[in-house]
Amino acid sequence: MKKVLISGASIAGPALAFWLRSAGFAVTLVEKAPELRAGGYPIDVRGTALDVVRRMGILPRLREQHISTRRLTFLDADGGEIVSVAPDAIIGGAEGEDLEIRRGDLIRTLYDLVRDDVDVRFGDTIATLTEDADVTFRSGREETYDLVIGADGLHSRTRELVFGEESAFHHYLGYSFAGFTMPNDFGLVREGVTWSTPGKGAALYAVLDSEEVHGFLVFARPEPPLEAFRDPEAQRDLIARTFAGEGWEVPRLVTAMREADDLFFDVVSQIRMPRWSAGRVALVGDAAHAPSFLTGQGTSLALVGAYVLGQALATIPDHAAAFAAYENRLRGFVEANQALVSEGQATLFPSTPEALERRNAALRQLTTAPPPAPRPEHSALTLPDFPVPVR
């Protein structure tokens, strides 16, 4: 029985663990966080990824967790309403098919699938790693595996140890953002509100009838703010300076951002690599090919990538050939979805006055136009059959 270590217990990691365990692999799942990460902001599952969760047997449970956001309202610089539309009018998708669920609900659902069959280790992470899958953990434990898979996200430690510094693969798309929760003092229920000026955006998103809302502040910046990456106070100061003097509820969001204990700050970027494997080590999900949150496809690509990698390893005995098959099948699908957004061209947060006016005009037309068809990129991959029945 092959021993596989998967680093990262968010989405791609547990999903891959499910497929490998179903195929008879002995799987260890290591997660540096002390417990399951269960943040509640909404994510989407679309297209080919719906086929993945259907094959996993969790589609009915995810349907029960569907948020069903009722409307998105867009505001101008003074807080005046530009338009209020149903999300499907913007996103498109197969009516009644695409899922919008809280990230934490999906993570919990995936974890419940594997918790009894996989060796899950919280509060530990990989400290050293070779292409031959020799691992030293931060806890001091040393082990050798047949394979090691990095499913540890945009800033993957596994990728850094085997493939080199993130800077070689990181493609900045011209925006930085902050996310946090704050009290729902706005009367929002199952809806989102977005405010924009050229190069700046703010949003409030109410999931169901929660007492909290998710706040977001997004801003264009020619170069990534490297000086703020490891300094939360520098992040808060940068955001406060950027949004100083702005209208609507932006001052309240900035105050809440300063007080939040769950502030998440990062840049909008993609990971683009010439190869996703080296020796006995491979990458999956954002670690291999993060598309950026602006595409709305990070979760779906993680689920699809986990399935394709699991299927390859389950059907091809030689790991090098399996990794090659995984890349050959998936790369075109990944690149098509990454191409949904380009540098400085965030559709919902335009960086110039002209682009903002074009966006607003397009939004107004949505009130009379039929919903857009599903994006072909979302369903551009047909899944191969998995070789064994799953539970």
Distance of alpha carbon 302 from alpha carbon 49, whole angstroms? 9
Distance of alpha carbon 67 from alpha carbon 64, whole angstroms? 9
Quick one: which of 120, 149, 146 has its CA closest to 134?
146
Alpha helix positions (H), 339-371: 353-365
Residue 92: per-residue pLDDT:
61
Residue 167: per-residue pLDDT:
92
pLDDT tens profile 381-391: 999 999 988 76
User: Which three-class secondary structure state does DSSP give residue 162?
Assistant: helix
Query: Where is average pLDDT lowest: 37-51, 140-154, 309-323?
Result: 37-51
Measured CA distances, 199 to 15, 189, 263, 322, 361 (Å): 36, 27, 21, 44, 17
Question: Which tokens in the block code for residue 317?
Answer: 């005995």
Pairing of strands 277-278, 170-183: unpaired
Q: What are phi and psi of 315, to 5 degrees?
A: -110, -15
User: Which three-class secondary structure state does DSSP give residue 366?
Assistant: coil
Distance of alpha carbon 152 from alpha carbon 158, whole angstroms? 7
Question: Which tokens in the block code for residue 344?
Answer: 């400085």
Query: What is the arithmetic mean of pLDDT over 239-248?
Result: 96
Is the pLDDT at 297 greater than 60? The verdict is yes
Q: CA Rg, the chain, in Å?
A: 21
Query: What is the arithmetic mean of pLDDT over 302-328?
Result: 98
Distance of alpha carbon 66 from alpha carbon 203, whole angstroms? 21
Distance of alpha carbon 194 from alpha carbon 349, whole angstroms? 9
pLDDT band at 264 (very low <50, low <70, confident <90, very high): very high
**Is 264 or 367 the better-scoring residue by pLDDT?**
264
pLDDT band at 172 (very low <50, low <70, confident <90, very high): very high
User: Which three-class secondary structure state does DSSP give residue 299?
Assistant: helix
pLDDT tens profile 58-85: 999 999 999 888 899 999 999 999 999 8
Q: Tell me whether residue 32 is exposed, middle or buried, using C-beta atoms within 10 angstroms of its C-beta: 0 to 12, 13 to 18, 19 or more.
A: middle
Distance of alpha carbon 181 from alpha carbon 189, whole angstroms? 15
Q: How many other C-beta atoms lie within 10 A of the C-beta of residue 69?
A: 19
Sign of the Cα pseudo-torsion (321, 152, 124, 311, in order): negative
Instruction: Tell me which residue has tokens 């850094």.
Output: 160
Query: What is the arithmetic mean of pLDDT over 300-324?
Result: 98
Phi-psi region of 344 (alpha: psi -120 to 50; beta: other; left: phi over 0): left
The number of residues making up the chain comes to 391
pLDDT tens profile 187-224: 999 999 999 999 999 999 998 878 899 999 999 999 99
Residue 68: per-residue pLDDT:
82
pLDDT band at 373 (very low <50, low <70, confident <90, very high): confident
Question: Which tokens in the block code for residue 216?
Answer: 């977001």
pLDDT band at 284 (very low <50, low <70, confident <90, very high): very high
Distance of alpha carbon 317 from alpha carbon 128, whole angstroms? 26
Is the pLDDT at 144 greater than 70? The verdict is yes
Is residue 120 within 8 Å of 31, Cβ to Cβ? yes
pLDDT band at 346 (very low <50, low <70, confident <90, very high): low
Q: What are phi and psi of 253, to 5 degrees?
A: -65, -40
Is residue 42 within 8 Å of 181, Cβ to Cβ? no
Contacts of 289 (CB under 8 A, 6+ apart): 270, 271, 272, 273, 276, 301, 305, 334, 338
Distance of alpha carbon 238 from alpha carbon 235, whole angstroms? 5
Is the pLDDT at 344 greater than 70? The verdict is no
DSSP 343: T
pLDDT band at 343 (very low <50, low <70, confident <90, very high): low
Residue 90: per-residue pLDDT:
73
DSSP states of 309-372 as a string?
HHHHHHH-SSHHHHHHHHHHHHHHHHHHHHTTS-TT--TTS-SSHHHHHHHHHHHHHTTTSPPP
Residue 375: per-residue pLDDT:
84
Sign of the Cα pseudo-torsion (358, 360, 366, 367, in order): negative
